[in-house]
Structure 1
Amino acid sequence: MSKESGWILHSVIFTLKHEKGSEAERRFLEDGERILASIPVVKGFKAYKQVSVKNDYDFGFAMEFDSQEEYDAYNHHDLHTAFVAERWEKEVEKFLEIDYKL
């Protein structure tokens, strides 16, 4: 992937409403990765467990896009909007979204 001026690293750190280590937590993380990574414009999807003591979020998702157009396509993709409406809004307690460019 060429990391030129259009490249975007989209990341979100979050805490779930589920009990830590629960089946519901595991299912959310696995479903999120499976669904969001399957969107054609998403590249390099990663799911992370946050370990810094400097904040109180628990997990992170990160993915790359080659351009703003791809990022916009992701945001409006049916799989993304359904995941947000059906899972994210119901299961995420709090989150912080960060998008980077080089």
Structure 2
Amino acid sequence: MDTGTIRHMALFTLKYPAESQEALAFLKDGEEILSAIPVVRQFEALRQISSKCDYDYCFSMEFAGQVEYDAYNNDPAHRAFVAQRWETEVAKFQEIDLRV
């Protein structure tokens, strides 16, 4: 089971109050920037509704395989978003990568 689609999910909480203008701008910008990367499929910006989870949001996306996932991680747009936004605006996060 080492080939095939990869589903990548980043659960996170921002440094801003949930549903604030800053949080909504981060989600919008993240969706626009990350979904525009050619190897990204099925991008979703999601809001947490369970009280059992310590994170407020999730970016979920799929990749055709490991080559595409690696390309995403090395894409200049992804690297810039991480450096300029993620590292400065995210309070905590957990990444989950699953083979579909």
TM-score, normalised to structure 1, is 0.93
The structural deviation recorded for 1:96 is 0.4
User: 2:95 is aligned with what amino acid?
Assistant: E
Whole-angstrom CA distance in 2 between matches of 1:47 and 1:95: 14
**How far does the alpha carbon of each residue in 1:46-69 deviate from its partner, in whole angstroms, 9 at most, with x for none?**
010011111110000000000100
- Normalised TM-score (structure 2): 0.95
How many pairs does the alignment contain?
99
- Matches of 2:19 and 2:69 in 1, distance apart? 31
What does residue range 42-53 of structure 1 map to in structure 2 within 5 Å?
Answer: 42-53=40-51
Question: Is contact 2:16–2:23 with CA below 8 Å preserved after alignment?
Answer: yes
Alpha-carbon distance in structure 2 between the residues aligned to 1:78 and 1:46:
20
Q: Where does the alignment leave 5 or more consecutive residues of structure 1 unmatched?
A: none
What's the CA shift string for 1:9-52, capped at 9, x where partnerless?
A: 00010000012221111100000000000000000000100111
User: Do residues 69 (structure 1) and 64 (structure 2) align?
Assistant: no
Check conservation: 2:14, 2:23, Cα contact below 8 A.
Answer: yes
Return 5+ residue gaps in structure 2 as ranges. Answer: none
1:18 and 2:21 are equivalent in the alignment: no
CA RMSD of aligned residues (A): 1.2
Contact 2:3–2:66 (CA<8 Å) still a contact in 1?
Answer: no
Q: Helix, strand or coil: the match of 1:39?
A: coil
- Letter matched to residue 44 of structure 2: K
